[in-house]
Structure 1
Amino acid sequence: MAISLPERTATAVDALTPREIVAELDKYVIGQARAKRAVAIALRNRIRRQRLSADMAEEVTPKNILMIGPTGVGKTEIARRLARLAQSPFIKVEASKFTEVGYVGRDVESMVRDLVEIAVDMVRAERADEIQDKARQAAEERLLDLLLPPTRFPAPPFDRAQGVPSDSRGTGEEAAPAFPAAPGAPGDGRGPREQAHRTRERMREQLREGRLDDRVVDIDVSAGPMPSFEVIAGTSVEEIGMNLKDMMGNLFQGRAKTRRLRVPDALEHLAAEEQAKLVDMEAVGRTAVQRVEQSGIIFIDEIDKIASRDAMGGGGHGGPDVSREGVQRDILPIVEGTTVNTKHGMVRTDHILFIAAGAFHVSKPSDLIPELQGRFPIRVELEPLTRDDFVRILTEPRNALVTQYTALLGTEEVALSFTPAAVGRIADFAARVNEITENIGARRLHTVMERLLDEISFDAPELGRRAITIDEAYVDHMLADIVRNEDLSRYIL
């Protein structure tokens, strides 16, 4: 079996070295150099595997990564940005949401099925972009038919002796006229067909210029999706619900109703219909399955929550908890490599990259079952964020928090700016609140910024065109009392 990354992914990432991948991640995530190096090497190894022979590539499996660190330090963001950089199907799941097979709750195979659906959406969007112009043209023709119904022309005279129209005798081509055509006769450019064509082209021009936007047309639209009967209670029932929904949708797909829409809305609806006709969903499904198998990334968060903390398992209940050790044993074959049945086909998980993450405040990585520990050979510890990290997070990343709030208030014609001292003061307060309350990492900056700009955000529509500078004194005025009062900090920040 030939092993290769999808062409779109390979061509986009081929030129990136691990150093360049880290540089790309640095645009969005501050610090955590070791974690960035680990994921950069993992991504580059996928490109290296692509260049191997089929036999060798089959044997090379991704080296899964276990990220250890407190909340809010960038674990999820690193994985998400890596997937976006690689144009890979990516899904984030929480290990604590799954239960052992046979119990009420989601089974672990659902993460693979959900990843396939994400890949299908990605491939469908790519195919839709490729045929967008063709679909738009077809929709335009259909809309012109509604605005200007085609004219019926009389059939040409019929030659009874020859059994063919009199103007198509012999070679099948129109015979040249023996005399110049009279004005208004067919062939002089002013006949009914030519006039209808010119009228249609004038209508097309008006449509493209937006001069018909106020007109309405009647079109047939789908009666709407059938209600879902999906019941998530394990693999078999989940698949039954999924297939039942598809069956009922196909059974009633012919139902339609007539709606009156404005021309722009009708054009968009018709374009969507034409796109659906032109996109081969079977081919989309096959491509999506291949993309998941060769470049999919599954991020399993909160894996520490399913780690057993004592020999009894399940917190001392006398047996493994259905959402803890049992889930670990269900995750194990997915990570090792198995085949999962989806509605788009069988999906092999051998070469999906798994990135697990957890704070491990109470449990330790060694509390995971030994078999699962061995499937995450690369372990990276992420460092807690400091005051200096907060300063960089506020200003350095692309679309950093300060930039975001400046842009948001700019829509109200309020020119917001921050002095360097104010940014440092915000970082001081965020770091202090993390020390005296729960340490939630960079997420603390969101709560601090919202509290800081509460009054300005509320009054912005009435302020008019105005420049506002946030300085250190204003930050102290808005935040100092709350930060000093530990009880208030716990509830407000």
Structure 2
Amino acid sequence: MDEKEIQNSDVDKEKKDDEQEYEKICYVCRRPESKAGAMVSMPGGMNLCHDCMQKAFDSVTQGGLDLSKIPGMPYMNLNLNDLGSLNKDLEIPKKQKIKKKSDKEPKKQMERKDIPAPHTVRKKLDEYIIGQDQAKKAISVAVYNHYKRVYLADAAGKEEDAIQIEKSNILMIGPTGSGKTYLVKTLARLLDVPLAIADATSLTEAGYIGDDIESVVSKLLSAADNDVERAERGIIFIDEIDKIAKKKNTSSRDVSGESVQQELLKLLEGSTVEVPVGANQKNAMTPMTTIRTDNILFICGGAFPDLEDIIKERLKEKSSMGFSAELKDKYEKDANILSRVTNEDLRKFGMIPEFLGRLPITVTLESLTKELLVRVLNEPRNAILKQYQKLLELDEVKLVFEDDALEWIAEEAIKKKTGARALRAILESFMLDIMYEIPKDPNIGSVIITRAYLDKNGGPLIQMRG
């Protein structure tokens, strides 16, 4: 056997392995073999389902159209028996591959030891997130109960008497920069589950410009590398959920407000959704797959601006006159007024009762104080100061921040009212000159950032080597 024959045999073997591992996809309607049925294989790797094959023959026989005269279709008038004589090296690009579901391999069930205990989750979150103790505790318990529910569902199987535990989705409320998105990202990384983060502002009612509701599940499928079973146990975080509140005093159709809340109901409670594979938009050229959202944990987060005023208004109504009465200005300076939120306040904000009913766990995050911001700067594993110190270590330079300098940065961040996001913006502006000048002189050993430098009353303290 010569070298060419060996290469051809290797190619044939590779094609056979590919056919066994992946489903065939119809070249016309793009449906996989599991949905369209058995395929008719054509030369060049082109597959056609029986429906599309029948439509092609019907259009030829009934319409009297000679497809051979159309440019680019020279072989359509051939007899099927003659198709074998076509060039077998003709290759048609495959848009998408879908792995076959093997009946031999049993579905991997979640084991009891795979479920992380709440204190374990909380301990890991403490390494990355400062403060928000109540929020971390609530989320740790919610995640623990959710995956116990998944474990019980796997263990129960088809038992009729098995107890069905309803899932508890989470609503996170907190001011901007308090760590809502970072908390969910850290949680997904620690649990090693796929995470999809969607922005509620881009969602619209079906049929209108924007993302459909199913696109949220499509992002989760992409995060799970198109593994349906793994995606069905993932986490979906819908950010800016307060932006889909009911619009007040409007006569136009609310396609991005209340209607989006209503369409999200089926996903939050648990339903079967058909989503495109490898794309966010449905079209005829994209294969589809089915995903159940029963075991997907949904976390919705938002800043809910002006919600504080609604809460204060409700609390002031309960104030009365007399020696033991509560003063009306008691709640004006309450920094954590959001912790007193109720479903009644959220309904007044514009969230419909059906939507709130499917988010039974409400977690509120505190505004970051000056002390917390100082801790955020240097305590977490991925703290901002540690990042800059690591960058300067590559130049063999030690970076030190004085305590007064850290307090100054925290005070400026509070003035910006954007939470922890303001810390990086402030540091970037002051570190720009240092990061530019230090590589010029290889004799610099350390740089100390002082409050005087931040106040623009002096420069950083620079110590030379030796």
- The answer as to whether partners of 1:13 and 1:86 remain within 8 angstroms in 2 is no
Match in the other structure for 1:21: 121
Q: Give the distance between the partners of 1:417 and 1:53, measured in 2 at CA.
A: 57
Q: Which runs of 5+ in 1 are unaligned?
A: 121-284, 309-313, 481-493
Q: Which residue of 2 aligns with 1:389?
A: 372
Q: What is the match of residue 348 of structure 1?
A: 292
Of 148, 156, 177, 1:53 maps to 156
1:195 corresponds in structure 2 to none
Distance 1:5 1:404 in 2: 42
Q: Deviations over 1:10-44 (max 9, x none)?
A: 68843x32112111101111111121112111221
> What is residue 239 of structure 1 aligned with on the other side?
none
Cross-structure match for 1:405: 388
Between the aligned partners of 1:5 and 1:81, the Cα distance in structure 2 is 28
The 1-side partners of 2:131 and 2:254 are apart by 37
Counterparts of 1:141-180 in structure 2, within 5 Å, are none
Residue of structure 2 in register with 1:326 after alignment: 259
Residue 193 (structure 2) aligns with: 88
Structure 2 residue identity aligned to 1:408:
L
Structure 1 segment 72-151 matched on structure 2, within 5 A = 72-120=177-225
User: Quick one: which amino acid aligns to residue 130 of structure 2?
Assistant: I
Q: Match of 2:429?
A: 451
Q: Does the CA contact (< 8 Å) of 1:414 and 1:463 recur in 2?
A: no
Preserved contact between residue 42 and residue 62 of structure 1 (Cα < 8 Å):
no
Code of the residue aligned with 1:400 in structure 2: it is A
Asked if 1:425 corresponds to 2:438, the answer is no
1:290 aligned residue: 229
C-alpha displacement at 1:306, in angstroms?
0.7
- Measured in 2, the distance between the counterparts of 1:411 and 1:12 equals 41
Separation in 2, partners of 1:5, 1:19: 29
Number of residue pairs the alignment of both structures matches: 298
Partner letter of residue 422 of structure 2?
R
Residue 472 of structure 1, CA deviation? 2.4
Q: How does 1:1-16 map to 2 (within 5 A)?
A: 13-14=114-115, 16=116
Q: Which has the higher helix share?
A: 1
2:172–2:301: 8 Å Cα contact kept in structure 1?
A: yes
Please tell me the root mean square deviation across aligned C-alpha atoms, in Å.
Answer: 2.5
CA contact (8 A) 1:5 1:291 kept: no
Structure 1 pair 68–57 and aligned structure 2 pair: CA distance change class (3 A): farther
- CA deviations 1:271-314 (Å, max 9, x no partner) are xxxxxxxxxxxxxx5xx211222x21000111111111xxxxx3
- 1:17–1:44 CA contact under 8 A, matched in 2: yes
Moved more, 107-116 or 451-460: 451-460
What SS does structure 2 have at the residue aligned with 1:360? coil
Contact 1:66/1:356 (<8 A) preserved: yes
Structure-2 change in CA distance of 1:413 and 1:336 (3 Å): same
Q: Which residue of 2 aligns with 1:365?
A: 346
Residue 59 of structure 1: SS of its match in structure 2?
Answer: coil
Give SS of 1:422's match.
helix
Moved more, 79-88 or 49-58: 49-58
Bigger relative CO (Cα 8 Å, ≥ 6 apart): 1
Larger radius of gyration: 1
Query: What are the within-5 Å matches in structure 2 for residues 262-341 of structure 1?
Result: 285=226, 288-293=227-232, 295-308=233-246, 314-341=247-274
Between the two proteins, what is the percent identity of the paired residues?
41
* Equivalent of residue 135 in structure 2, options 12, 35, 47: 35
d(CA) in 2 for partners of 1:473, 1:39: 41
Stretch moving more, 338-347 or 471-480 = 471-480
Any conservation in 1 of the 2:146–2:168 contact (CA below 8 Å)?
no
Q: Tell me if structure 2 keeps the 8 A contact 1:95–1:300.
A: yes
Distance 2:175 2:242 in 1: 11
In structure 2, distance between residues paired with 1:87 and 1:116: 15
* 1:91 partner SS: strand
Q: Give the drift of 1:424.
A: 2.2
Query: In the aligned structure 1, how far is the partner of 2:130 from the partner of 2:148?
Result: 27
SS of the residue aligned with 1:469? strand
Change beyond 3 A, Cα 1:10–1:34 = farther
Q: Indicate the SS of the match to 1:93.
A: strand
- 1:319, distance to aligned residue in structure 2 (A): 4.6
- CA shift, 1:478, in A, is 7.1
Note closer, same or farther for the CA distance 1:478–1:441 as it changes in structure 2 (3 Å cut).
Answer: farther
Contact in 2 for aligned 1:69/1:359 (Cα 8 Å)? yes
1:256 alignment counterpart:
none
Q: Could you report, residue by residue, the CA deviation over 1:48-74 in whole angstroms, capped at 9, with x for unpaired residues?
A: 221453357782232011111111101
CA distance in 2, matches of 1:5, 1:73: 39
Post-superposition Cα deviations, 1:444-472, rounded to whole Å, max 9, x if no partner, equal: 10111112212101213213241111122
Per-residue deviation at 1:336? 1.5
Residue aligning to 1:464: 442
- In 2, Cα distance between equivalents of 1:350 and 1:61: 9
Aligned partner of residue 224 in structure 2, secondary structure: helix
Q: Mark the CA change 1:402 to 1:10 in structure 2 (over 3 Å): closer, same or farther.
A: farther
CA distance, structure 2, for counterparts of residue 472 and residue 447 of structure 1 = 17
Return the alpha-carbon distance in structure 1 between the equivalents of residues 193 and 443 of structure 2. 43
Q: Distance in 2 between matches of 1:465 and 1:315?
A: 64
Judge conservation of contact 1:304–1:365 (CA < 8 Å) in 2.
no
**CA spacing shift, 1:465–1:326, aligned 2, 3 Å:** farther
Q: Measure the CA separation in 1 of the matches of 2:411 and 2:195.
A: 35
The alignment's TM-score, normalised by the length of structure 1, stands at 0.57
TM-score by length of structure 2 reads 0.60
Question: Which amino acid is the alignment partner of residue 209 of structure 2?
Answer: V
Which of 421, 440, 456 is the matching residue for 2:418? 440
Q: What SS does the aligned partner of 1:28 have?
A: coil
Quick check: 1:452–1:479 contact (8 Å CA) kept in 2? no
Name the CA distance, whole Å, in 2 between partners of 1:26 and 1:302.
25
Give, in angstroms, the shift of residue 357 of structure 1: 0.7
Which one-letter code corresponds to 1:53 in the other structure?
A
**Secondary structure at the counterpart of residue 379 of structure 1:** strand
